[in-house]
Amino acid sequence: MDKKQEDIQPIVENETTPVTEPEAAAEAPVRYAGFWKRLAAYIIDFVVISFVFVIIGFALALMGLVDLNQEVPMEKYDNTVDLGSILITWGYFALMESSSKQGTLGKMALGIKVTDYDGQRISFLRATGRFFGKYLSAILLMIGFLMIAFTARKQGLHDILARTLVVNQR
């Protein structure tokens, strides 16, 4: 080839480099959180919620809405206290479990989270159903909670009803 023909030749780079798809990473098996780990997380949450109730009680006393020194029949406060307790506890569990953290402070401390069956974050509505499903688990002589120890995916009755899983993050 003379010099003029070389200048006309097209330049082709990487003509033999095939494009390959990266191999899909093997998914790690799901490790369900067991009964004892979940119970420990709940105990941590119970301490957190109890602390919140103490702070609220003192705040109400400072505002003069409750007199801690006077003997007042609890019937006067029963419905308000019950409703307040349910709302605060529901808010804590439903908001935390549907958040990007996917768990309460107790669950986060123990490295577990709540997911749907696809491993995704649950909605606030699903977290609400899961929370109120715990009342059914408790009413049935706590059998709904004991199911966690004996089901293949470590689900309580409330998990089955809400279609959720509690899994280890680590």
Cα torsion through 64, 67, 69, 74, rounded to 10: -170
Mean of per-residue pLDDT scores for the chain: 87
For the entire predicted model, the pTM comes to 0.79
pLDDT at 66: 72
pLDDT at 24: 45
E-state strands within 34-135: 112-116
The pLDDT of 124-152, averaged and rounded, is 98
Q: In the numeric block, which tokens belong to residue 67? A: 């007199």
Closest CA to 82 of 53, 42, 44: 53
Residue 154: predicted pLDDT? 98
Q: What is the pLDDT of residues 56-85, one digit of tens each?
A: 888 988 887 777 676 666 566 668 888 989
pLDDT tens figures, 24-52? 445 779 999 999 999 999 999 999 999 99
Question: For residue 11, is pLDDT > 80?
Answer: no
Instruction: Report how far Cα 135 is from the mean position of its chain's Cα atoms.
Output: 17
Give residue 22's pLDDT.
47
